[in-house]
Amino acid sequence: MINVTLPDGSIKQYDESITGYDIAMSISPRLAKEVLSISVNDEVWDLSRVISSDSSIKLHKWDDEEGKNAFWHSSAHIMAEAIEAIYPGTKFGIGPTIDNGFYYDVDLPEGKVITEKDLVRLEQKMLELARQKNDIVRSEISKADAIQLFQDKNDEYKLELINDLEDGTITLYNQGDFTDLCRGPHLPNTGAVKAIKLLSVAGAYWRGDEKNKMLTRIYGVTFPKAKLLQEYLVLLEEAKKRDHRKIGKEMVLFTFSQDVGLGLPLWMPKGAQLREQLELFLKKVQKNFGYEQVITPHIGNVQLYKTSGHYEKYGKDSFQVIKTPQEGEEYLLKPMNCPHHCEIYKARPRSYKDLPIRYAEFGTVYRYEQSGELHGLTRVRGFTQDDAHLFCTPDQLKEEFKKVIDIIFIIFKALDFKDFTAQISLRDPKNTEKYIGSDENWDKAEAAIIEASAEKGLKTVTELGEAAFYGPKLDFMIKDAVGRNWQLGTIQVDYNLPERFDLEYTGADNQKHRPVMIHRAPFGSMERFVAVLIEHTAGKFPLWLTPEQVVILSISEKFNDYAQKVSNILNISDIRTVVDDRNEKIGRKIRDNELKRIPYLLIVGEQEVESNSVSVRQQGQGDKGTMTIDEFARFIKKEVESQLEAIHINQKSN
């Protein structure tokens, strides 16, 4: 008998030939029906694998990452089996799971191609295979036998993979007529896969290296219930409707021009208005937190970037040097603001009493991105960072870090990002050479980030080896209204630049000390943030932010003067209005303006003129009754204020 510890701490005794599936069955048949994989001593296993010694276990269902992974991994194998059945002689690369499904890279026989049209046929074959409820069987195999097997199949990709594996760790999985090299884990049989959607076909280089052959990558997603697939497809459709490039065009927020250049967004009046509101908002918050605005030029002498080390690291992959016609001076378009801010710090002697110093700038930077990387506003070549650099003593680091986290919380609250996590990126402890700075400083900085995050109650994941070469960082990931993850704000600790720029302050001991620097950009960039915001809100921005808050619709042209008067009165109270005085019926005006996503529609006609009032309609909510103009102005201002309540949190302490 063996002892099996369940997640709640209880211990059950089983035979030594027990499997994960048997354990689930012993708890309840219903659980056994839903369970997909099992963690045995923190290692994820197949449910059908025999557990022969004392273990602590956790059963995984669809809702767990581990459960989904097994499900999709097995689905990738089913897809491979279907491909092999339809296109015999196909060679297989890798077929992993991804965030939302799985893919398989395949090398089709000479002359064969798979296009989007072929996917339906492939789906049907997969369903057929799934319904056969074939057992998925794990077997361990020696390296020599594995090589033999895939030599017989003439699959050079698998052979290459096996080559990198150690003898004794190689496993195969088989279902039906298909055998694959695979670490697992997998479902007990193919029957759990009930709904299948193959999403797209794309090219992908073997092992991501463009020198290698391009394989065909097929993306798919599967579900244990047909209903889940339907929901997923609706979500995909919704995501498509929210594409910021589409909405940006519809709402006339920004555009691109071939003549201006790739990846260089042009902000149109309404987009500029939106950006300005965001900037004003952040400036106010930052002022409360003791930041000072600075302004620096868009270019800097090459020497500046040689000092910072960026020239050496990125010089070749940047926009190239700008030369003066006469003196032959060399400048670079600034790819980041930090060196400029360091020079501001350096311009005067600093005392420990001055610290922390916090310089903020909406700094526009230019980075060369490969043409294929450019994407709407999320990936551009010229963008404006909501940048700031904090210079502090090592002892102040944690406190400053916490305050930056507070700012990010305020932003997320004002913009209704409820679901977010953070990633702590630390250095790889096994490979400390590629990082600069002393071990002592790294330890201190990493501890500061970890403690600050914990004290702020932040949900975090920690990634080793993901730190920048100059310091550890904290990145925020938000989940948008349709469940997609976006990386937004970032906070980074930097020991490199203070060193390279020889930044100093005089301590209480009258000695020179090196300050620590924090880079932080809560939005990341204005461009990217606006893009995320558009997709999160589907263009229905919160009232405080939206470029056009109120539209006034006249019933007929006779009331255009009154409409204009209402607009003027609201403008005095800083309410952003537009007037729709077109020669159209009211129904038409309502429809058009509802579609323009303006939060409030005011209808004015004879009755309103007589009582000096407006008839209020809220976007998407219909008629809200009548108010006087003053009442409406107060109502709007109150709503804006309540949305911006968090702005007033005053953290100034210096």
Partner RNA sequence: GCUGAUGUAGCUCAGGGGUAGAGCACUUCCUUGGUAAGGAAGAGGUCAUGGGUUCAAAUCCCAUCAUCAGCUCCA
Q: Which of 606, 630, 631, 645 binds RNA (CB under 7 A)?
A: 606
Q: Which of 19, 134, 179, 318 binds RNA (CB under 7 A)?
A: 318
Catalytic residue among 367, 444, 500, 528: 367
Q: Which of 369, 406, 428, 639 binds RNA (CB under 7 A)?
A: 369
Q: What is the DSSP string of 318-385?
A: SSPPEE-TTT--EEEE-S-SHHHHHHHHHTS--BGGG-SEEEEEEEEEE----GGG-BTTTB-SEEEE
Q: Which stretch binds RNA (CB under 7 A): 8-16, 118-126, 210-218, 320-328?
A: 210-218
Q: Which of 336, 355, 493, 530 binds RNA (CB under 7 A)?
A: 336
Q: Which residues contact 626 (CB under 8 A, 6 or more apart)?
A: 607, 608, 611, 613, 614, 615, 616
Closest distance of CB 40 from RNA, Å? 31
Contacts to RNA from residues 263-302, by CB under 7 A: 263
Structure tokens, 375: 């994407």
Question: Pick from 216, 90, 74: which is nearest to 136 by CA?
Answer: 74
Identify which of residues 372 and 457 has a Cβ nearer to RNA in the complex: 372
Rounded to whole angstroms, the Cα distance separating 568 from 116 reads 55
Q: Which of 9, 29, 111, 203 binds RNA (CB under 7 A)?
A: 203
Using the rule CB under 7 A, is 245 a contact of RNA? yes
Using the rule CB under 7 A, is 368 a contact of RNA? yes
Q: Which stretch binds RNA (CB under 7 A): 371-379, 394-402, 422-430, 533-541?
A: 371-379
**Helix or strand (DSSP H, E) at 232:** helix 226-241
Closest distance of CB 602 from RNA, Å? 9
Establish whether 182 is a catalytic residue: no
Identify which of residues 185 and 248 has a Cβ nearer to RNA in the complex: 248
Identify which of residues 67 and 437 has a Cβ nearer to RNA in the complex: 437
Q: How many residues does the chain have?
A: 654
Using the rule CB under 7 A, is 583 a contact of RNA? yes
Using the rule CB under 7 A, is 370 a contact of RNA? yes
Q: What is the DSSP string of 80-139?
A: HHHHHHHSTT-EE----EETTEEEEEEE--TT----GGGHHHHHHHHHHHHHTT-B-EEE
Establish whether 186 is a catalytic residue: no
Q: Which stretch binds RNA (CB under 7 A): 64-72, 76-84, 308-316, 627-635?
A: 308-316
Using the rule CB under 7 A, is 183 a contact of RNA? no
Using the rule CB under 7 A, is 379 a contact of RNA? yes
Using the rule CB under 7 A, is 587 a contact of RNA? yes
Handedness of CA 541, 547, 550, 552 (dihedral sign): negative
Catalytic residue among 105, 155, 180, 387: 387
Closest distance of CB 551 from RNA, Å? 12
Catalytic residue among 286, 385, 396, 619: 385
Catalytic residue among 275, 340, 473, 513: 473
Question: Pick from 388, 363, 474: which is nearest to 423 by CA?
Answer: 474
Using the rule CB under 7 A, is 111 a contact of RNA? no
Identify which of residues 19 and 593 has a Cβ nearer to RNA in the complex: 593
Using the rule CB under 7 A, is 374 a contact of RNA? yes
Catalytic residue among 91, 242, 338, 617: 338
Q: Which of 60, 340, 520, 617 binds RNA (CB under 7 A)?
A: 617
Evaluate whether 428 touches 462 at the Cβ level (below 8 Å). no
Q: Which stretch binds RNA (CB under 7 A): 28-36, 321-329, 502-510, 554-562?
A: 554-562
Identify which of residues 144 and 322 has a Cβ nearer to RNA in the complex: 322
Structure tokens, 404: 């930056």
Evaluate whether 513 touches 468 at the Cβ level (below 8 Å). no
Evaluate whether 46 touches 136 at the Cβ level (below 8 Å). yes
**Helix or strand (DSSP H, E) at 13:** strand 11-14
Q: How far is CA 214 from CA 31, 35, 154, 202, in A?
A: 43, 37, 18, 10
Identify which of residues 429 and 622 has a Cβ nearer to RNA in the complex: 622
Rounded to whole angstroms, the Cα distance separating 58 from 38 reads 6
Using the rule CB under 7 A, is 635 a contact of RNA? no
Rounded to whole angstroms, the Cα distance separating 170 from 168 reads 6
Using the rule CB under 7 A, is 237 a contact of RNA? no
Q: Which of 29, 88, 325, 372 binds RNA (CB under 7 A)?
A: 372
Using the rule CB under 7 A, is 110 a contact of RNA? no
Q: How many helices and strands, by DSSP H and E, does the chain display?
A: 20, 35
Establish whether 367 is a catalytic residue: yes
Using the rule CB under 7 A, is 557 a contact of RNA? yes
Using the rule CB under 7 A, is 434 a contact of RNA? no
Count of residues in contact with RNA, rule CB under 7 A:
65
Using the rule CB under 7 A, is 309 a contact of RNA? no
Q: What is the DSSP string of 448-483?
A: HHHHHHHHTT--EEEEET-SBTTB-EEEEEEE-TTS
Which is it for strands 473-479 and 419-426: parallel, antiparallel or unpaired? antiparallel
Handedness of CA 70, 76, 77, 79 (dihedral sign): positive
Using the rule CB under 7 A, is 556 a contact of RNA? yes
Which is it for strands 195-205 and 178-181: parallel, antiparallel or unpaired? unpaired
Structure tokens, 163: 């080559």
Establish whether 217 is a catalytic residue: no
Q: Which of 2, 344, 468, 482 binds RNA (CB under 7 A)?
A: 468
Q: What is the DSSP string of 247-275?
A: HHHHTT-EE--TTT-TT--EE-HHHHHHH
Catalytic residue among 77, 242, 389, 500: 389
Identify which of residues 547 and 599 has a Cβ nearer to RNA in the complex: 599
Q: Which of 205, 228, 460, 569 binds RNA (CB under 7 A)?
A: 205
Q: Which stretch binds RNA (CB under 7 A): 79-87, 372-380, 442-450, 498-506?
A: 372-380
Closest distance of CB 293 from RNA, Å? 21
Handedness of CA 404, 407, 408, 409 (dihedral sign): positive
Establish whether 519 is a catalytic residue: yes
Q: Which residues contact 612 (CB under 8 A, 6 or more apart)?
A: 628, 629
- Sheet of 322-323: strand order equals 299-301, 330-333, 322-323
Q: Which residues are annotated as catalytic?
A: 338, 367, 385, 387, 389, 473, 519
Binding residues for RNA, rule: CB under 7 A, are 200, 202-205, 208-210, 214, 217, 245-246, 249, 256, 258, 262-263, 310, 313-314, 317-318, 335-336, 338, 367-376, 379, 468, 555-558, 582-588, 590-591, 594-595, 601, 603-608, 615, 617, 619-620, 622-623
